[in-house]
Amino acid sequence: MIKRSGHNRTKKVCSVCAKRKVKCDRLVPCGNCVKRGQESECIKFATLQNTQDAINATSDYLPNVLNLWQNYEYWILDIGLFKTQSLNPRKALYDLESNIQECEFWMNYLNTEQSFELLNFTVENLGALYFGCLGDINDLFSQLEQYWRRRDKKETKDDIVYYTSDDYYWNALLWAIFAMCIYYIPMEELEQKFSTKPICDWLEIDDDQGWTESLQLTIFQGFVKCSLVQLQKANFFAYPDIRIIQSFLILETTSFASSNYAVANALLIHCIHVGRLFNIDFNKQYSEDDPLMGISKSTFSKIWFRLCTCDYYHSSPTKRISCHTDMPTLLQHAAFYQDMPNVNIYKAEENFEALCWKIVSLDRDLDQYLTKTFKPQIKTLDAVKREIGILQQKITNKGHEEDSINSQFERFIASFLSNMVSWKLQKMYLIYFETANSLELSIHYSEVILSLIRNNIKSGNSLFNKHPLILSSLSRIVSFYAFYNIFSENVEVERTTKDLHNLITQLPIIIGEKVNGLLFVIDRFYSLKVLWEKVQIVDSALGTIHPVFKILQNDIKFISKFNNRTPILMRGVKSMIPNIRGVYDDEEFEYMENEEDELDLNINESNQFKLIVSEFQSERNIKEIFI
């Protein structure tokens, strides 16, 4: 909830009130708009207003430009890059039956021995990613035995053997683990365990090449499909079960969510429903539970922490059901976490899931300002700094040289997350308060993050770097510096941008196609820098505006419109069928971009100005980040 106090008043009356000719209280959103249910329009106006202020500044533009960054980071690097899918049901030739058949191919491809090897690999290397959401790991081996017993029975018996929903849920969970394994397993190990022949035969391609990264991606995607089809076969709508949450959380440790945002969102929301149906959410733990229930609940609390973390990472204007919002941040309620019967803060230190959530809650405290029209209070930033310092200390204390790979992976994730919070913090000190050294400190933290990643490679743990968090975090950092680099000559910034850029180009293909979107954005910033340097400020008589600002502003507008679309039920007079404006057809994109925007305060742009902007936009259309 936005506090309705005075400190976030804007300078102008909102467009809605202006049009209706009523008194506006200039809060964001304003009282009239709240009353009329037009909050989003009111907020939209204030956001644009802010942007406008930034680009209208005549001199000392850097602070103002940086202010624009927060919005840009949110809409382009978070929403646009990772959470926007252009879906056209009219072009979607999905076939349920052939999907089921493909799944059978993969399930026949994997033999008993391989399956146990995969499971062993995950137990030895990927424990950090999934132990927390399971009761007892040993049970997985007996479940895998039962899985093969079931299959043998089905193959040998003459009469039809039906699986129960329970059987399919186990299949789904096991195949989620296999998929995760294929995602993380190094190529050398994959080569030893699997033959490419059956896959190449089935895909009708040559198998001379042996294992390639793209073949690894294919098998990974196939295994993910298997897990999802098994869930469908379990009839998960009719038989809610905790294992759907467990399977989902395991798939979330891969690039599954970023490649299938719509599916992952729908699944996530179903998981929230199931979690609440079975009362596994945080608030429902009683201190007088019997020991058996106690152990269950401690696992449930980890599952819920993980689900809230995923839920937070899925936040977007197109996902308006969430559970993480019910969970207070460390900042708001340090007491909350201390007072939970089952989440003793001292005991919970040991608990990786709780620790991660605490760090993520601080990330949330910071990232909420990406879309706010007012700046944070400096004491908020200082408080986050204090908390993250304490958590970082705990992570460091935990490390031992003789750690297992699982512990090393846990420590890497926790360190990575906490350094990311520190980086965001410095970025915000810089943007909102121009604090001395904040740019240097931000570079320091980005170097720490880089060295964490490089260290994994050096110590033979480069698989850690496939964690989806790495890409999404790096995309924020590298774009910020590439953006900064447009407007300011700074050797350090330039070097950091290049280092990060290099690292990103070396990331393995399996982490998904989002890398390409990110590289496109970085390239585009370089081109914007050229444009910035080439074009002097145009139309200085009518308020100073540079084409670069206009383009950046248009980017935000485009992605935010796309994500706040409403479908049109009728389309022309002839065909009265549902259609989503700007979603289904390519020509609709044109419409969106050419549309006269009534909030556009620069209608007096010269033709030359318009030409520069439109040329750039047609050569480097921002929609390429998600198509």
Closest distance to its own copies from the beta carbon of 538 (Å) = 31
Q: What are the tokens at 437?
A: 């050294």
Closest distance to its own copies from the beta carbon of 154 (Å) = 12
Q: 316 - beta bridge partners?
A: 319
Q: What are the tokens at 321?
A: 């059901």
Return the number of the residue (284 or 495) whose C-beta is nearest its own copies.
284
Give the H/E segment covering residue 369. none
Give the H/E segment covering residue 209. none
Closest distance to its own copies from the beta carbon of 575 (Å) = 8
Closest distance to its own copies from the beta carbon of 446 (Å) = 34
CA distance 407 to 416: 14
Closest distance to its own copies from the beta carbon of 114 (Å) = 24
Are residues 428 and 381 in contact, defined by beta-carbon separation less than 8 angstroms? yes
Chain centre to alpha carbon of residue 502 = 22
Return the number of the residue (90 or 610) whose C-beta is nearest its own copies.
90
Return the number of the residue (338 or 396) whose C-beta is nearest its own copies.
338
Q: What are the tokens at 147?
A: 């899985």
C-alpha distances (whole Å) from 476 to each of 367, 472, 487 are: 11, 7, 18
Q: What are the tokens at 584?
A: 């289904």
Are residues 366 and 426 in contact, defined by beta-carbon separation less than 8 angstroms? no
Helix, strand or coil, per DSSP, at residue 373? coil
Return the number of the residue (390 or 568) whose C-beta is nearest its own copies.
568
Helix, strand or coil, per DSSP, at residue 254? coil
In degrees, rounded to 5, the angle at the alpha carbon of residue 205 between the alpha carbons of residues 116 and 105 is 40
In degrees, rounded to 5, the angle at the alpha carbon of residue 251 between the alpha carbons of residues 213 and 292 is 145
Return the number of the residue (87 or 436) whose C-beta is nearest its own copies.
87
CA distance 439 to 441: 5
Return the number of the residue (390 or 599) whose C-beta is nearest its own copies.
599
Closest distance to its own copies from the beta carbon of 502 (Å) = 35
Closest distance to its own copies from the beta carbon of 314 (Å) = 12
Closest distance to its own copies from the beta carbon of 253 (Å) = 20
Return the number of the residue (147 or 480) whose C-beta is nearest its own copies.
147
Return the number of the residue (156 or 575) whose C-beta is nearest its own copies.
575
